[in-house]
Amino acid sequence: MDYLSTRGQSKAASLQEALEAGLAPDGGLYMPQHLPRLSAGGFADCRTAADVAARLLNPFFSKSALQEKLQGIVRETYSFPLGLVPLSGESGARVLELFHGPTAAFKDFGARFLAASLQQLARNAVTTRTILVATSGDTGGAVAAAFHGRPAFRVVVLFPNERVSRRQVKQLACWGGNVRALAVNGSFDDCQRLVKTAFAMSAADPGWQLGSANSINIGRLLPQCAYYAYASLKVWRETGAKAGFVVPTGNMGNAFACLMTRAMGLPIGPVVLATNANQTIGKYLESGRFEPAPAIQTLATAMDVGNPSNMERYRYMEQQAGFGAAGISVFSIDDQAIARQIVADFDAYGRVHCPHTATASCAWHSLPRAARQERPWVLVSTAHAAKFETTVEPLIGRKIELPVALAELENQPVQYSIIENDFTALRDALASGE
Ligand SMILES: *Cc1c(COP(=O)(O)O)cnc(C)c1O
């Protein structure tokens, strides 16, 4: 399988090249040259999520240097449980829990898959590659956890000093070993700007040996398709119906994986996108005009995106057959509604949602009753509520117990350096790293 840039100005890349580069040379995002056609029957002997992932991803690995390694990569990625649990007895809705990984958010899947893949590719490398990421929340922790203890890499995580919660700092700065955390005296946008400058420098001077793990990397997207396949097959086997999916959406990465999986032929019905108050995606689907806007801050912070980068993939695929806006709808959920839904679902079902998951629940509850009853629905839960305890605990009036993985991080000492918001400071910090 070859990978093409959405902008069509770069030559086709192998899987290996697409994984290592992240972004195509023309500034576009890589997409598989074509989507394989699959059907539920082709997965009849697959039981676990790892089985499904290996089968689903095989065509994307065909003829690549990694083809023989796919089984191992998939087992490393899907080494923790995927929950698919009823929201309540009567509702017929299920919650797809993607938060049982090391940092309790769905980004663990993409980060672990990318790390395992890049590690296979780096086996004969003599130099260490530096994975540089800017983060305002879940990405940095997931990437740090995924690359921690892999000696072919070092990870440098940039986060805005004093603008990240205490618990989030833990998840970024507790790792030690080959992971370093840098607190930048600036905003998240400043962190991103520093990372972009570093990548521009390294494009001119390969001596930098930088690697990217951000969410536009095709290696983050592919493994996400597998849990949609797994969940849809499970519902299909149980009920004979195509499940509808409700997906919390910010940068359109997780939701795009769901649409891609449906386009491959897996038994997925309507897809409902749940955004927070940031409405770039909703407005595009309504008007056909893509108009990025400054991000609005909301309770669902990981979805505070005004210029969703994966929309470039969506718009590219829209021109292909079978990928139009049919069977897609969008609900924009404001902070008040998020807060109300967290309280309502706790009262009604005893479930504690993170604010992102609450957007999905709210969108689902906003569907007409007939649509809700017409088929089974899967509400995608993107993070454990304990990651957003400062928002959720006051709403439900009690403490949220930490999942084991996060509780372990909680007891680790943190260590990070503070740097000024300028490129020289970053360059010096990178050069001084061991
Ligand atoms: C990143 C993130 C999202 C948004 O996912 P996208 O792929 O950017 O749309 C939603 N919820 C949580 C908890 C996240 O960390």
Give tens-digit pLDDT for 167-221: 889 999 999 999 999 999 998 888 988 998 898 888 778 788 888 888 889 999 9
pLDDT value of position 193? 87
Of ligand 1's listed atoms, the one at least distance from the Cα of 357 is 11
Residue 17 CB less than 6 A away from ligand 1: no
Residue 252 CB less than 6 A away from ligand 1: yes
Residue 301 CB less than 6 A away from ligand 1: no
Residue 353 CB less than 6 A away from ligand 1: no
Task: Classify burial at 246, counting beta carbons within 10 Å of its beta carbon; exposed 0-12, middle 13-18, buried 19 or more.
Answer: buried
pLDDT value of position 23? 87
The arithmetic mean of pLDDT across residues 54-58, rounded, is 97
Of ligand 1's listed atoms, the one at least distance from the Cα of 137 is 15
Probe residue for ligand 1, chosen from 96, 99, 107 as the CB with the greatest number of ligand atoms within 8 Å = 107
CB atoms within 10 A of CB 90: 7
For 139-178, what is each residue's pLDDT tens digit?
999 999 999 999 999 999 999 998 888 888 999 999 999 9
Residue 140 CB less than 6 A away from ligand 1: no
In this model, does residue 433 exceed pLDDT 70?
A: no
**Nearest alpha carbon, ligand 1 atom 4:** 250
Q: How confident is the model at residue 392 (pLDDT cuts 50, 70, 90)?
A: very high
Residue 358 CB less than 6 A away from ligand 1: no
- Which of 29-33, 53-57, 137-141 shows the lowest per-residue confidence on average (mean pLDDT)? 137-141
Task: Classify burial at 343, counting beta carbons within 10 Å of its beta carbon; exposed 0-12, middle 13-18, buried 19 or more.
Answer: middle
For 242-288, what is each residue's pLDDT tens digit?
999 999 999 999 999 999 999 999 999 999 999 999 999 999 999 99
> Could you tell me if 380 and 254 are in contact, meaning their C-beta atoms sit under 8 angstroms apart?
yes
For 331-388, what is each residue's pLDDT tens digit?
999 999 999 999 999 999 999 999 999 999 999 999 999 999 999 999 999 999 999 9
Tell how far the Cα of 271 is from the centroid of ligand 1, in angstroms: 16
Q: Is the dihedral of CA 178, 405, 356, 89 positive or negative?
A: positive
- Which of 127-136, 232-241, 257-266, 380-389 shows the lowest per-residue confidence on average (mean pLDDT)? 127-136
In this model, does residue 325 exceed pLDDT 70?
A: no
Residue 66 CB less than 6 A away from ligand 1: no
Of ligand 1's listed atoms, the one at least distance from the Cα of 387 is 13
Q: Comparing C-alpha atoms, which of 248, 252, 277, 398 is closest to residue 337?
A: 277
Residue 360 CB less than 6 A away from ligand 1: no
Q: Comparing C-alpha atoms, which of 297, 335, 328, 333 is closest to residue 311?
A: 328
Per-residue three-class SS string for 239-280: HCCCEEEEEECCCCHHHHHHHHHHHCCCCEEEEEEEECCCCH
Residue 313 CB less than 6 A away from ligand 1: no
Strands 30-32 and 3-5, by their bridges, are antiparallel
**Nearest alpha carbon, ligand 1 atom 7:** 253
Tell how far the Cα of 215 is from the centroid of ligand 1, in angstroms: 10
- Beta pairing partners, 31: 4
The arithmetic mean of pLDDT across residues 393-410, rounded, is 94
Tell how far the Cα of 183 is from the centroid of ligand 1, in angstroms: 22
DSSP letter, residue 383 = B
Tell how far the Cα of 205 is from the centroid of ligand 1, in angstroms: 33
Q: How confident is the model at residue 90 (pLDDT cuts 50, 70, 90)?
A: confident
pTM check: above 0.85? yes
In percent, the amount of the chain with pLDDT more than 90 equals: 78
